[in-house]
Amino acid sequence: MLPSLSRIRSNIDTITASVLAVWMVAIADWFLTKRLPAVVTALFMLAAVGYLGRLAFQTSRQPIRAIRTLNLQLSALFIVTWPFVVWVLDMLELREASAIFARWGTGGLFCIGLAWFVWGMELASQRFERMRHQRDTNLPRSWHPLDVRAWYYGERSPKLRQSLAGLLSYSLMFLFALLLFSQLSGCQELYEMPAGGGEQQTVAQTVKLQKIIKKKFVVNPFSAILFKVPPIDEIKLQLTEITKHAYTVGYGQGEGAGYAGGTKQGKVRFIRIEYAGGDWDQDFGVGSDLNMLMEYGLRTNQPVNSHTESRTIEQLKNFPVGSSPPFVFMTGQGSISLSSAQVKILREYLDEKHGMLFIDNGGSGHFHNQVLAMMRNVLPQVRPTPIPLDDIIHRVPFQIPFLPYVAPHGGKEALGWRVDGRLVCYYHPGDIADAWADDHAGVPPEIWEACYQLGTNVINYAHAEYSKWLVSRGAAKK
């Protein structure tokens, strides 16, 4: 006896639910815990892709095509296939491709969602219209947003207004969901450095004097015709200063200013660390960080982000190894209160993720002690040492012959914490961020210019060291 149609459908529903549940387990593990072995995750994801693909194929081969079911299955297939591709690329450490797929996939998801939203809205709207026809055309206008005759859509072009309202609501919901999703602790975020190359040398400015000799006509002085002859040595000198960088700022063999481990769409970003206990947001954003970021772009010709950002210490965990920020900035003048979990994240960021802390004392001796105490917790076996003026960080790309500061809150020497010869923390004791601000805290131009140069050096150093590490990691893998 053949099984009934409803029983077959029930079986299919059970299998679909099971497959999707397994897929969700794999996704949740990928984002949150990463405890499943890669093979298991791949199998789980592949099972969902294969199963949904087969279902869609079967539906498309049916004599009476169920368009809606097919569309539904294709949409689900997209939803499971896209993360699978991103996951595979991630596993292969193809960060650039992975980032591209992640971006395009989000776009695709938005479009598919929008299509279903419009379809649903249209269906509901038609139902309201049918109800209105069946009962009474003179029914009062409703409040329901899916009803095209709702009073707030007005008399003129109510359909257009409903569509616009629908689009806006959907976009906002999508954005909200995206934001919520990105706040999950396991949600990955990528930092991509600008691709390119450069040498680790001090900027050498070449000044060329271009002498332009005015054209002269040699005239026979004994000519019968009288000319006003200019004296032979009257040369109009047009002195033009041609000043250019002798090389590009960056590290590696690529073209243009940038870094060997960077990507085409990569940009230098300025990320500030949010911490508890003090005023992490001193001069944050437009006031100071953005000026520094823009100046960095101008001075190095590297692409920079259009805005500055901030992240909590926990969010640093979201950056994967190999695509985390080469440096993060920290400032303030109050206390720094870190939990042991935060200390661990910072240690991991500096050590395993090859990051760097750029700390600026924003205004007190107390903050100086707080920084020292914090670093003693984060790196107990590393002692701070004064950074010499001839260290690479003070030479490349700009020669810093002296340490500039706005006020000596924590002494007059920059301190550094080194791990295996690399500076993992650069501490400026004298409010460098104030000199980056629009009013430069009223310090002399020589000082704030040096502060910008020093900031550029630190950012470049962090990126160059990160690039070196990425390149050596790649070589080691090969």
Partner 1 sequence: MAGITWRCQEITIRYHRAFILGMICLWTAMIFGSNGLVAAPLDELPLDRWKDLRETERYQMQIAEKYYREQNWKIAAGEYEKFITLHEKSSGSAFAQMKWSICQVRLKKLNTAIKDGFQSVIDYWPESPDAMVSAYYIGHTYKDMGEIKQAKKAYQQVLQKYPKASVAAYAAVDLIDLATLEDDKQTLNTLWKKLTFDTERTNDTRSICENASRQYASHSLYHGGSKKAAKSLSTTYVETSQLVDQLVVLSIQAINQLMQDEKNRTQAEKLADDAINHVRGAMPADISTPEQKLFSQNCWFAIARLYDATKRPEQSDETYKLTLEKLGRNDEILAEYARWRKTQGKYEEARQLYASYENKIEGLSQIAYSFREQQKWPEAIAVYQQLAGMDAERQFDWLSQAASTHRQAHEWMQAINIYQELMAKDADRADSWLWEIAYTYRISGQYKEAIGYYRQCNNFPGNYQEMAICHRALKEYGEAIVLYNQIVGTDENWAPWAMIQIGYTREEAEQTEQAIKAFQQVCKRFPKNQYASQAHAHLQTKYKITVTLGGAKDE
- Residues of this chain that interact with partner 1 (CB under 8 A) are 283, 333, 363-365, 381-391, 401-409, 412-413, 416-418, 420-421, 430-431, 434-435, 437, 439, 441-444, 446-448, 450
Nearer to partner 1, 288 or 323 (CB): 288
Q: Are 196 and 265 in contact (CB under 8 A)?
A: no
Q: Which two tokens stand for residue 384?
A: 């701070």
Q: Which two tokens stand for residue 345?
A: 């994240």
CB of residue 361 to partner 1, shortest distance in Å: 9
Query: What is the length of the chain?
Result: 478
Please tell me whether the peptide bond between 303 and the residue prior to it is cis, using omega within 30 degrees of 0: no
Q: In whole angstroms, what is the distance from residue 378 CA to residue 229 CA?
A: 81
Nearer to partner 1, 50 or 442 (CB): 442
The CA-based angle 312-316-320, given to 5 degrees, is 155
CB of residue 419 to partner 1, shortest distance in Å: 9
Q: Are 332 and 288 in contact (CB under 8 A)?
A: no
Q: Which two tokens stand for residue 165?
A: 């309202």
Question: Phi-psi category of 277—alpha, beta or left, where left has phi over 0 and alpha has psi -120 to 50?
Answer: left
CB of residue 292 to partner 1, shortest distance in Å: 15
CB of residue 94 to partner 1, shortest distance in Å: 34
Nearer to partner 1, 86 or 292 (CB): 292
Nearer to partner 1, 107 or 401 (CB): 401
CB of residue 447 to partner 1, shortest distance in Å: 4
Identify the helix (H) or strand (E) that includes residue 442.
none
Nearer to partner 1, 26 or 432 (CB): 432
Nearer to partner 1, 83 or 410 (CB): 410
Nearer to partner 1, 309 or 449 (CB): 449
Secondary structure letter of residue 395 according to DSSP: T
Nearer to partner 1, 352 or 446 (CB): 446
CB of residue 442 to partner 1, shortest distance in Å: 4
Q: C-alpha distances in angstroms, 404 versus 194, 429, 436, 449, 454? A: 28, 10, 12, 9, 8
Q: Are 87 and 45 in contact (CB under 8 A)?
A: yes
Identify the helix (H) or strand (E) that includes residue 357.
strand 357-361
A 10 A CB-CB count for 177 gives 12
Nearer to partner 1, 258 or 416 (CB): 416
Residue with tokens 């772009």: 297
Q: In whole angstroms, what is the distance from residue 32 CA to residue 297 CA?
A: 36
Write the single-letter amino acid at 334: G
> Which residues in 348-364 are b (16+ Cβ under 10 Å) and which e?
bbbeebbbbbbbbbbbb
Identify the helix (H) or strand (E) that includes residue 160.
helix 158-182
Nearer to partner 1, 27 or 414 (CB): 414
Q: Which two tokens stand for residue 124?
A: 């509901």
Q: Is 382 exposed, middle or buried (0-12, 13-18, 19+ CB in 10 A)?
A: middle
Write the single-letter amino acid at 141: R
